[in-house]
Structure 1
Amino acid sequence: MATNLDLQEQEQIDAVKAFWGQYGNLITWTVTLVLVAFAGWNGWNWWQRDQAAKASVMFDEMDQAVQAADADKAGRVFKDLKDRFGRTVYAQQAGLLAAKVQTDKGQADAAIASLTWVADEASDEDYRSLAHLRLAGLLLDKQDYDGALKQLDAVKSSEFAGLADDRRGDVLAAQGKPAEAVAAWKKGWDALSDKLDYRRIVEAKLTAAGAQPAASGAAQ
């Protein structure tokens, strides 16, 4: 009886050895890769939290610069943020804020540079769309109509579709294309909620162009 048990155990051991000899390396590498991936995932999360914490401190400096309307400081803080923590949402928000202060202070080229970075590098579609929308306005001021229209074409977020169409109407009007401008304004007016005060501005443009929208077309 003992002999039979010994033989069965030996057969099992031999089977395990044969299996491990055939698949041992594959199993070892698979387990290793899983462990490395898990460690990397934990490390990535820690890195993201660490980056966000450090970026938030710098963003406080940006907030101070905005409150003080200090365009030069806002530009410096934004540069540091995008260079050191460019993958954080703080850098994307800082780019939009820096551009606003720079625009208010007449630094149009600096504002365009800030917004271009957000439009190209932001991970959030809404931030990219907002940057494109603001870029279109600055390029319109510089009479770069083709550039402004190109920026408006790049607005992908549905949240900004109405505003993009309104701005497109402004560009077309500046190009001397009144019929196309009215069509764009009308499209923007239809897309904007009737709860938004800005919709009245679009309506005023249409009225001035002799194309006052019907009340029944109000967006809900």
Structure 2
Amino acid sequence: MAVYDLEEQEKIDDLKAWWAVNGKYVSAAVVIFAVGFIGVQGWRWYQGTQAEKASVLYQAVSQAARANDAVKAKEPATQLAERFSATAYAPRGALLYAKLLYDAGDKTAAKAQLQWVIDHGGEDELKAVARFRLAQILLDEKQYDEALKTLDAKTDEAFAAIYADLKGDILAAVGKTTDARVAYQASLAKLDPKSTYRAFVQAKLDALGGPVSAATGAIAAPGGAAGTAAPSAPAAAAK
């Protein structure tokens, strides 16, 4: 029994000696773990609180949008951008507010909201929507180069068809008919065969002269083959 007590005492003494050397590091590790755990939990709580507050503001913007009231949407939309920009509600609120501003005739402010989404939005899909709407406004303002530049950004394949369609509109507006036809063809190639939007794009393509042959650049015949280009006036006169 005395031997057992001696062995136990030796273990206790060894533990005390080890603790004297390493105890401060163990304590520090425990403190770091505790602080880290509390920090994670605190951050989650903070994020939840921020999201809850942002949700209330977004609902206010949404209600103003349903009432088509840009004035009423201004304050909550501004608060979302300034105080809750990291939440998912901020870019959505900005998109709603941009539409209200555009409908109210304030294109400059609408563009600023859309640019904010492009610069600060965390979701690529929302950025793609913002770029598309911004390009539409730039087209309205006849800022054709800026509109095309806006659409040049890499975007999700889901937006390829409507981006190509809008590019066709811009190119047609500046008189680049062949390029516009190519853009409309690209849009049709990306659209679902069952999409009702196809008829709209096809009508614009047909209005400009129909499809363009990829090989020759000639206008394709209705059956799909490239049509024969008409002879030039000098060539016709020479015959």
Same fold (TM over 0.5): yes
Deviates more, 1:174-183 or 1:85-94: 174-183
- Whose radius of gyration is greater, 1 or 2? 2
The residue correspondences of 1:61-100 to structure 2 (distance < 5 A) are 61-100=60-99
Structure 1 match to 2:174? 175
Structure 1 match to 2:9? 10
The residue correspondences of 1:110-189 to structure 2 (distance < 5 A) are 110-189=109-188
- Displacement of 1:155 in angstroms is 4.6
- Displacement of 1:91 in angstroms is 1.6
Q: Verify: 1:194 aligned to 2:193, yes or no.
A: yes
Which amino acid counterpart does residue 146 of structure 1 have in structure 2? D
Contact kept in structure 2, 1:133 and 1:155, CA below 8 Å: no
| 1:122-152 Cα shifts (integer Å, max 9, x gaps) | 1111111111111111112222222222221
Helix, strand or coil: the match of 1:82?
A: helix
Which amino acid counterpart does residue 145 of structure 1 have in structure 2? Y
Relative to the length of structure 2, the TM-score reads 0.79
Unmatched tracts of structure 2, length 5 or more: 213-221, 225-239
Structure with bigger RCO (C-alpha 8 Å, 6+ apart): 1
CA distance in 1 between partners of 2:186 and 2:40 (Å):
46
The residue correspondences of 1:19-98 to structure 2 (distance < 5 A) are 19-98=18-97
In structure 2, relative to structure 1, the CA distance for the partners of 1:62 and 1:6 (3 Å cut) is: same
Helix, strand or coil: the match of 1:156?
A: coil
CA distance in 1 between partners of 2:58 and 2:114 (Å):
17
Contact kept in structure 1, 2:181 and 2:211, CA below 8 Å: no
Structure 1 match to 2:210? 211
Which amino acid counterpart does residue 61 of structure 2 have in structure 1? M
In structure 2, relative to structure 1, the CA distance for the partners of 1:16 and 1:98 (3 Å cut) is: same
How many residue pairs match? The answer is 215
In structure 2, relative to structure 1, the CA distance for the partners of 1:182 and 1:22 (3 Å cut) is: farther
| 1:85-116 Cα shifts (integer Å, max 9, x gaps) | 22222221111111111111211001001111
| 1:185-206 Cα shifts (integer Å, max 9, x gaps) | 2222211223332232222222
CA distance in 2 between partners of 1:91 and 1:196 (Å):
31
Deviates more, 1:23-32 or 1:163-172: 23-32
- Displacement of 1:43 in angstroms is 1.5
Which amino acid counterpart does residue 146 of structure 2 have in structure 1? G
In structure 2, relative to structure 1, the CA distance for the partners of 1:77 and 1:18 (3 Å cut) is: same
Deviates more, 1:104-113 or 1:193-202: 193-202
In structure 2, relative to structure 1, the CA distance for the partners of 1:150 and 1:37 (3 Å cut) is: farther
Contact kept in structure 1, 2:182 and 2:211, CA below 8 Å: no
Identity within the alignment, %: 42
Unmatched tracts of structure 1, length 5 or more: none
Contact kept in structure 1, 2:118 and 2:131, CA below 8 Å: yes
RMSD: 2.4
Relative to the length of structure 1, the TM-score reads 0.85
Contact kept in structure 2, 1:155 and 1:161, CA below 8 Å: no
In structure 2, relative to structure 1, the CA distance for the partners of 1:35 and 1:149 (3 Å cut) is: farther
- Displacement of 1:22 in angstroms is 4.7
